[in-house]
């Protein structure tokens, strides 16, 4: 028995319950001060260090998700060893006097691949995720029982550190289905969590949709939120309930092609200070974000917005475990609410610099092909029993005249098109691209489409995210004055998994001297005198993944904002170290260096992210608005009903002024209402035009009004006077009867629009 196991076994059984306006720990009032940390995002060798960091910050609890897909990578094969040993993580927490809140899903979101659901569920193409689909529920029960075997012995009732367990996760943002949530509750109870306190979390705007009478209700909201307003409805419904913010967002996650997200330390600490002064419990999401190593970073929706490898989150503890000004400011505040002096802050782990070195060996991408399938129709990755990686689709073309276009429906996620091996162009799902022009082709020419899959969508209804080509490939051409469409068939499909074993084996068939610009596998070496953490700089590389000494570091993409990958010191050897890079776009230069600081905010885009093309601005002078009026001041959702239903594809909202009279206008979320007053899906929406977007101070671009996140928002640049205009492309012509509008969630709803005009255009 390990020392930490002995410590857990020696503890006496205890109790933790929801009392009258407070939690009760062993019958004494207890305010939860929880630090959200994710064990797969931290090398196991650093688990104890990070736990000590959280304790020194002033936290008394650790909050953690359980990631189904990392524990059951293949159906029926479970892994709770090594970095997946969640029970050991909990025992270490107890060793350091910390309690634990467990969130076993089955869905977790977390900007993690498919929100924690395993990809192999999609082998059953008609599966309904997060619903009472028989197969889905069968697999959930099997998984939760395995979690129970690991963690049920560690509940406080059994002398362990686990005081609360969550049922599902933010289900109100997915749907309304109390029978499903009830079924998940029952599964969690039957897995061994029948005596521990159970809770469910949601947003203040939707928590009643799925709230179960026998569960504790908690709210999720972010830095700067109006805290009294967030708990107002809960206090009305349950006046004697203890209050808890189960996710108080310290920062935000980053996506490829956008600026690094940050949140003000003063605002974060002020919110926690206010909650503690009122006896409100909290969990700080994230206290330490860590890294989405390998292929585990997910993607957000509507649209497709893949997350970067770093999960730094602008948290008080950095991705690599260092303290920040946020940390010290929060520590000062938490000390006020502790009757003991907080422990000393643990020493930081050493950081080293690695001199620039060359990557010298190369193996072609084709060397990574593990399986080839002949198929009349295109097939998805899941249909061919592969979870992650790339696919090559090749077919023979008929004669195609000049001026033709090729459409991929749909490319998930990054497609490169070749004819007879020559690169023609790309189709990028991030940009909602579907069509590319192709040159004239002779009969017998070979078309090849290389698809790289990025992380599966982790939030919203689009989590059922198949990879590869999901439907068809078509060529449209004009032949002798006739419009002709070719639905391409008879494909040869090559599968290239992104496993390290595949990358390493690619060199066994023979390697060549590496040259810049080629697509494939690259290998090089560097020496270290004394291992320590470092950041490998891939600024000159294209797009793909990296391994060091067999450890997956994560994804790279030249567009940024992330340009370096974090390398934990325990993964390095004294002496020689191996780097393998899979680059599906090709590097500009073959150099890499290990830096002492990361590059997390270096964008390198073909064009900026703003939606301010003058040609996209509609002339509304001769148009009649479908609605005009004034919004009410303050927080919360508001509905505008049109005098009569109207048809159009482009929703145009003109903000004539703001409630405060200031020039900055903002919108947190928008919904369009159909002819029956129901909210339309926003999956097809794209941002068409905005006269002003503040992307320099927090990515407040137009797409934030439909990103399913109530804490993010579109905002105009300070100093740009009203009126302001935004235009949303609904994806197709729709009949609308109104809109739902949500101002910012902070006290006073800053940037709230006062007078407005709404137009619909075809």
Catalytic residues: 170, 247
> Residue 714: which of 693, 741, 696 has the closest Cα?
693
Helices (H) and strands (E) in the chain, counts: 10, 40
Is residue 651 within 8 Å of residue 730, measured between CB atoms? Answer: yes
Residue 609: cis peptide before it, omega within 30 degrees of 0: no
Residues 6+ apart with CB under 8 A from 270: none
d(CA 667, CA 650): 17
Task: Give the single-character DSSP code of 368.
Answer: G
Please state the φ and ψ torsions of residue 397, each to the nearest 5 degrees.
-95, 150
d(CA 740, CA 738): 7
End-to-end CA distance of the chain: 71
> Residue 109: which of 560, 387, 456, 413 has the closest Cα?
456
d(CA 258, CA 695): 8
Show the tokens assigned to 16. Answer: 């933790």
d(CA 32, CA 17): 12
3-state secondary structure of 640: strand
H or E element at residue 180 = helix 178-190
Task: List, in sequence order, every residue forming a beta bridge with 101; answer none if it has no partner.
Answer: 63, 164
For residue 474, count CB atoms less than 10 angstroms from its CB and return exposed for 0-12, middle for 13-18, buried for 19 or more: middle
Show the tokens assigned to 55. Answer: 């304790």
The upper half-sphere exposure of residue 734, i.e. CA atoms within 13 Å in the direction of its Cβ, equals 28
Task: Give the single-character DSSP code of 724.
Answer: E
Residues 6+ apart with CB under 8 A from 387: 73, 119, 120, 381, 497
Task: Give the single-character DSSP code of 172.
Answer: G
The upper half-sphere exposure of residue 505, i.e. CA atoms within 13 Å in the direction of its Cβ, equals 12
Residues 6+ apart with CB under 8 A from 35: 54, 57, 59, 61, 62, 63, 283, 284, 287, 288
Task: Give the single-character DSSP code of 41.
Answer: G
By DSSP bridging, strand 33-37 and strand 61-65 are parallel
- Interhelix angle 134-151/86-95, rounded to 10 degrees, is 40
Task: List, in sequence order, every residue forming a beta bridge with 452; answer none if it has no partner.
Answer: 390, 414
Distances, alpha carbon 416 to alpha carbons 379, 411, 431, 434, in Å = 17, 10, 14, 12
H or E element at residue 93 = helix 86-95
């Amino acid at each position: 028995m390990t020392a930490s196991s002995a410590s857990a076994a020696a503890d006496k059984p205890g109790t933790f319950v929801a009392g009258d306006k407070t939690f009760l720990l062993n019958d004494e009032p207890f305010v939860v001060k929880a630090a959200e940390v994710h064990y797969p995002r931290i090398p196991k060798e650093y688990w104890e260090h990070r736990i000590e960091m959280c304790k020194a910050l002033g936290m008394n609890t650790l909050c953690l998700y359980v990631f189904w897909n990392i524990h059951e990578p293949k159906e029926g094969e479970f892994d709770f060893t090594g970095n997946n040993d969640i029970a050991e993580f909990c025992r270490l927490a107890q060793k350091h006097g910390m309690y634990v809140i467990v969130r076993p899903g089955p869905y977790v979101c977390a900007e993690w691949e498919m929100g924690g659901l395993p990809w192999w569920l999609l082998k059953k193409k008609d599966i309904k995720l997060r619903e009472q689909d028989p197969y889905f529920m069968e697999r959930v029960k099997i998984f939760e029982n395995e979690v129970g075997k690991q963690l049920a012995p560690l509940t406080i009732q059994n002398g362990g550190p686990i005081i609360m367990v969550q049922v599902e996760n933010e289900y109100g943002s997915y749907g309304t289905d109390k029978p499903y949530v009830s079924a998940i509750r029952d599964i969690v109870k039957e897995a061994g969590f029948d005596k521990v306190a159970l809770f469910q979390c949601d947003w203040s705007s939707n928590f009643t949709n799925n709230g179960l009478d026998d569960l504790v209700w908690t709210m999720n909201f972010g830095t700067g939120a109006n805290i009294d307003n967030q708990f107002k409805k809960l206090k009305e419904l349950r006046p004697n309930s203890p209050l808890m913010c189960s996710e108080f967002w310290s920062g935000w996650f980053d996506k490829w092609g956008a600026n690094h997200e940050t949140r003000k330390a003063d605002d974060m600490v002020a919110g926690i200070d206010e909650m503690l002064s009122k006896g409100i419990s909290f969990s700080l999401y994230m206290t330490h974000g860590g890294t989405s190593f390998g292929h585990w970073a997910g993607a957000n929706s509507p649209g497709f917005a893949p997350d970067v490898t770093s999960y730094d989150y602008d948290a008080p503890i950095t991705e690599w475990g260092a303290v920040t000004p946020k940390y010290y400011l929060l520590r000062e505040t938490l000390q006020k609410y502790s009757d003991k002096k907080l422990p000393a802050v643990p020493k930081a782990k050493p950081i080293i610099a690695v001199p620039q070195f060359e990557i010298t060996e190369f193996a072609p991408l084709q060397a990574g092909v593990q399986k080839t399938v002949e198929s009349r129709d295109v097939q998805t990755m899941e249909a061919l029993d592969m979870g992650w990686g790339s696919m090559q689709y090749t077919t023979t073309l008929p004669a195609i005249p000049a001026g033709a276009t090729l459409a991929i429906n749909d490319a998930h996620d990054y497609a490169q098109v070749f004819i007879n091996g020559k690169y023609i162009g790309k189709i990028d799902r991030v940009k909602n691209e579907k069509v590319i022009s192709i040159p004239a082709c002779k009969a017998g020419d070979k078309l090849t489409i290389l698809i790289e899959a990025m992380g599966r969508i982790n939030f919203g209804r689009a989590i059922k995210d198949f990879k590869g080509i999901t439907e068809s490939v078509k060529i449209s051409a004009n032949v002798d004055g006739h419009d002709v469409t070719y639905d391409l068939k008879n494909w040869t499909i090559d599968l290239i998994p992104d496993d390290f074993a595949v990358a390493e084996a690619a060199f066994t068939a023979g390697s060549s001297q590496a040259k810049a610009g080629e697509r494939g596998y690259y290998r090089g070496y560097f020496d270290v005198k004394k291992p320590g953490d470092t950041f490998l700089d891939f600024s000159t590389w294209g797009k793909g993944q990296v391994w060091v000494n067999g450890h997956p570091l994560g994804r790279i993409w030249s567009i940024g904002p992330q340009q370096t990958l974090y390398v934990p010191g325990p993964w390095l050897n004294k002496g020689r170290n191996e780097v393998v890079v899979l680059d599906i776009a090709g590097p500009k230069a073959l150099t890499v260096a290990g830096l002492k600081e990361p590059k997390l905010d270096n964008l390198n885009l073909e064009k900026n992210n703003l939606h301010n093309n003058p040609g996209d601005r509609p002339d509304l002078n001769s148009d009649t608005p479908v609605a005009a009026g004034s919004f009410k001041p303050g927080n919360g959702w508001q509905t505008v009903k049109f005098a009569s239903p109207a048809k159009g594809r482009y929703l145009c909202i003109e903000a004539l002024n703001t409630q405060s009279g200031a020039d900055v206008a903002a919108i947190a979320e928008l919904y369009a209402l159909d002819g029956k007053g129901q909210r339309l899906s926003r999956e097809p929406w794209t941002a068409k035009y905005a006269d002003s977007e503040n992307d320099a101070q927090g990515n407040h671009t137009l797409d934030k009004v439909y990103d399913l996140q109530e804490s993010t928002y579109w905002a105009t640049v300070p100093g740009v006077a009203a009126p302001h205009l935004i235009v949303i492309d609904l994806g197709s012509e729709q009949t609308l009867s109104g809109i739902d509008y949500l101002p910012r969630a902070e006290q006073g709803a800053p940037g709230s629009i006062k007078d407005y005009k709404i137009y619909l255009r075809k």
